[in-house]
Structure 1
């Protein structure tokens, strides 16, 4: 399964962020890392179900996790 970086909306409460994580788990996702500087987490998630995650009311962004390099 691909891994995605999920961020909650800026005004999301801690409870709302937890509801996003629970939604991801309920849809077959596996939380890989929880971030402390942003309201977000990485999750391995079924590629064919990502639309469900993107449409959650407290989700701000969902981006495919990929390697970043500097030049």
Structure 2
């Protein structure tokens, strides 16, 4: 995964609202940008600043971090 790209960050069901909010605040403070917050699951899409990909991937409240990309149907 390339850093400084757009990613989807999905939190574990057990993640608290405080963990979620603090993560978003940290991304914004580091120069990143949250572009969408999901309602079907606790998570968001964001442009992550360099260094945050590894930090988020190992965060105990985060379930998954993946590239955000276009999906096409056939």
TM-score by length of 1: 0.82
How many residues are treated as equivalent by the alignment? 70
- CA-to-partner distance for each residue in 1:17-44, whole Å, 9 max, x for gaps? 1122123223332111111111000110
RMSD: 1.5
Q: Structure 1: where are the runs of 5+ without partners?
A: none
TM-score by length of 2: 0.80
Structure 1 segments of 4+ aligned residues over 6 angstroms from their partners: none
Q: Structure 2: where are the runs of 5+ without partners?
A: none
